[in-house]
Amino acid sequence: MTLPEISSEWATGFSLAWSAYIAVLSIWIVMQKRAPVSTMSWILSLALLPFAGFVIYYFLGPQRLKKQRIKRLRSRVGKRNHADQALLRDAAEKAPAALRQIAELGTATCGIPVSSATSVELLSGGAATFERIFEAIHEARDHVHLEYYIFEPDQIGTALRDLLVLKAKQGVTVRLLVDALGSKKLGRKFLAPLQAAGVHTALFHETRIGRRLRPVTNYRTHRKIVVCDGRVGFTGGVNITDEEDLRVQSDAYHDVHLRIEGSAVSWLQTTFLEDWAYTTGDYPSDKHTDVSLLLPHLLPQMDAGDIPVQIVTSGPDNALEPIHRMHVAAINASIQRAWLTTPYFVPGEPALMALTSAALRGVDVRLLVPHRSDSLIVSAAARSYFDELIAAGVKVWEYKGRMLHSKTLVVDGHCAMIGTANFDNRSFRLNFEVMAVVYGQALAEPLAAQFETDLRSAILVKSLRPQRFSTRLLDAVARLFSPLL
């Protein structure tokens, strides 16, 4: 057999193998029944990586996860006292119909109804956030629960660790759940004092190969939750890292957080406990006969507050995408204003349509994003949407100086959202996220004031702005990968 004949046979064999690879990979991806754009993006991207695409999709490709709700826990939280129920009914009757529908959407998609809070406090910056969290932990007498995406073994991380050790030695039950990837720097030496003091620690979705039949590397808990004695709760964008603290770093991220008191904290508690049970498999469980003895401590009875609050959760275990839907519904319901702050802006078609449609019908729509985020490709993808947003009347602002990390939305004067979710596909579909929706003026006014303060450190993006061809090309190419970001 001559060399050309051998080469021809190899070429034919490779073509058949590559065709079979594309066929099998396409069937595998298509059977996931995802959005057509996302499906085609995966197929086209992986088709360019013969055989290696299998490995990439196996580790990073979308998959359905199941995370069981703890029925007994949710049942108890749902049985609020009569005063609380009466207050919420009265507030619902006075609220606009669109607002009631948004609340019903949240309940229908994630199973969490509107509850009440006696107080909500907007915390601007990591320093203010850490001070209030440390204060609440100092005052805890029964338990402290923490869940974080990023927990760094740096100055603030070490200070918090030492405080948790102190509380554990005082007899307070401490549970710490951190994401295995986001908090990958936490080593045995750092965790040893916690474990020696009796602090319960767990890693969410360990990244070691062999831990699961199919790895879940791409599915992280992006939640930031602190609950003290079931009465005081925190959530928002601030992680445990010096990068969020201006007292330590002059270029620290600019971020906001929320402190809540009242019955709404019970739903933050429920979210944490379900994540804990999913991760550890041992607490609490409907099968535990003594769980009823623990619930009064975990879910204490509290007086009704006058602030309606709804905790909304989402993740790859819920195909309804509750946080995504809540954002779109709130923007669609806006009449006067819709002010959105996000560090990562990679909207899908529904979210993009909601923003542009609101602006076209005369709503004051403003978008505040970082001038430069910590992800080059995400920044480029975000810029690719600016022209069509501006053409529709959306005012786009870029925050200068520091990295903007806040994730908020203010709609008119009666709806404010703050949480852990970015305005992108990863947060809406892949990560486990949590958000607090506060109805009325209690948070809408201070959050709107914070937004206007942040604009003083931002520049307005103009439609006719000078851009190099290379920048425009990078933005356009990055946008092609939007469904995967």
More confident residue, 161 or 72: 161
Confidence at residue 55, expressed as pLDDT on a 0 to 100 scale: 62
Is the four-CA dihedral 144, 150, 153, 155 of positive or negative sign?
A: negative
pLDDT at 127 over 50: yes
Note whether 345 and 385 are within 8 A (CB). yes
pLDDT at 476 over 60: no
Residue 462 lies in a domain: yes
Note whether 255 and 240 are within 8 A (CB). no
What is the domain-level CATH number for residue 464?
Answer: 3.30.870.10
The full 3-state SS of the chain, as one line of letters, equals: CCHHHHHHHHHHHHHHHHHHHHHHHHHHHHCCCCCHHHHHHHHHHHHCCCCHHHHHHHHHCCCCCCCCCCHHHHHHHHCCCHHHHHHHHHHHHHCCHHHHHHHHHHHHHHCCCCEEECEEEEEECHHHHHHHHHHHHHHCCCEEEEEECCECCCHHHHHHHHHHHHHHHCCCEEEEEEECCCCCCCCHHHHHHHHHCCCEEEEECCCCCCCCCCCCCCCCECCCEEEECCCEEEEECCCECHHHCCCCCCCCCECEEEEEECCCHHHHHHHHHHHHHHHHCCCCCCCCCCHHHHHHHHCCCCCCCCEEEEEEEECCCCCCCHHHHHHHHHHHHCCCEEEEECCCEECCHHHHHHHHHHHHCCCEEEEEEECCCCCHHHHHHHHCCHHHHHHHCCEEEEECCCCECCCEEEECCCEEEEECCCEEHHHHHHCEEEEEEEECHHHHHHHHHHHHHHHCCEEECCCCCCCCHHHHHHHHHHHHCHHHC
Residue 57 pLDDT class (50, 70, 90 cuts): low
Confidence at residue 26, expressed as pLDDT on a 0 to 100 scale: 75
Residue 348 lies in a domain: yes
pLDDT at 378 over 70: yes
Least confident window among 7-21, 290-304, 350-364, 465-479: 465-479
Residue 149 pLDDT class (50, 70, 90 cuts): very high
Residue 311 lies in a domain: no
Q: Which of 412, 424, 454, 475 is catalytic?
A: 412
**Same domain membership, residue 201 and residue 240:** yes
The whole-number average pLDDT for the span 371-381 is 74
pLDDT digits 0-9 by tens, 1-27: 454 555 666 767 667 776 776 777 677
pLDDT at 158 over 90: yes
Q: Which of 145, 167, 205, 224 is catalytic?
A: 224
Confidence at residue 99, expressed as pLDDT on a 0 to 100 scale: 86
pLDDT at 86 over 90: no
Residue 48 pLDDT class (50, 70, 90 cuts): low
More confident residue, 346 or 71: 346
Is-catalytic flag, 407?
yes
**Same domain membership, residue 244 and residue 169:** yes
pLDDT at 28 over 60: yes
* Mean pLDDT estimate for the chain: 85
**Same domain membership, residue 172 and residue 240:** yes
Residue 213 lies in a domain: yes
Residue 241 lies in a domain: yes
**Same domain membership, residue 342 and residue 251:** no
Least confident window among 197-211, 304-318, 342-356: 197-211
Ramachandran class of 440: left when φ > 0, alpha when ψ lies in -120 to 50, beta otherwise? left
Least confident window among 24-38, 172-186, 327-341: 24-38
pLDDT at 483 over 60: no
Note whether 99 and 329 are within 8 A (CB). no
pLDDT cut 70: percent of the chain above it: 74
Is-catalytic flag, 424?
no
Q: Which one of 276, 306, 336 terminates a domain?
A: 306
Q: Are strands 143-148 and 173-179 parallel, antiparallel or unpaired?
A: parallel
pLDDT at 479 over 70: no
**Same domain membership, residue 170 and residue 297:** yes
**Same domain membership, residue 193 and residue 46:** no
Tokens linked to 31: 């059977």
Confidence at residue 50, expressed as pLDDT on a 0 to 100 scale: 61
Note whether 402 and 409 are within 8 A (CB). no
Confidence at residue 46, expressed as pLDDT on a 0 to 100 scale: 67
Measured CA to CA, the distance from residue 96 to residue 159 in angstroms comes to 45
Residue 108 lies in a domain: no
Is-catalytic flag, 224?
yes
Q: How many CB atoms lie within 10 A of CB 446?
A: 17
Tokens linked to 347: 């909207």
pLDDT at 256 over 90: yes
Tokens linked to 409: 């939305």
Measured CA to CA, the distance from residue 291 to residue 296 in angstroms comes to 10
Measured CA to CA, the distance from residue 318 to residue 299 in angstroms comes to 25
The parent domain of residue 13 ranges over: 3-60
Is-catalytic flag, 71?
no
Q: Which of 84, 229, 454, 475 is catalytic?
A: 229
**Same domain membership, residue 274 and residue 339:** no
**Same domain membership, residue 444 and residue 378:** yes
Q: What is the pTM of this model?
A: 0.85
At residue 251's C-alpha, the angle toward residues 248 and 253, to 5°, is 90
Measured CA to CA, the distance from residue 33 to residue 241 in angstroms comes to 38
Split into its structural domains, the chain has a count of: 3
**Same domain membership, residue 81 and residue 40:** no
Residue 475 pLDDT class (50, 70, 90 cuts): low
Q: Which of 145, 254, 327, 407 is catalytic?
A: 407
pLDDT at 34 over 80: no
Note whether 432 and 220 are within 8 A (CB). yes
Residue 99 lies in a domain: no
Tokens linked to 264: 């709404």
More confident residue, 294 or 351: 351
pLDDT at 120 over 60: yes
Residue 338 lies in a domain: yes
**Same domain membership, residue 425 and residue 364:** yes
**Same domain membership, residue 125 and residue 47:** no
Q: Which of 205, 405, 454, 475 is catalytic?
A: 405
Q: Which of 222, 324, 327, 414 is catalytic?
A: 222
Measured CA to CA, the distance from residue 102 to residue 218 in angstroms comes to 30
The whole-number average pLDDT for the span 437-453 is 96
Confidence at residue 471, expressed as pLDDT on a 0 to 100 scale: 61
Confidence at residue 326, expressed as pLDDT on a 0 to 100 scale: 97
More confident residue, 376 or 263: 263
pLDDT at 449 over 80: yes
pLDDT at 309 over 50: yes
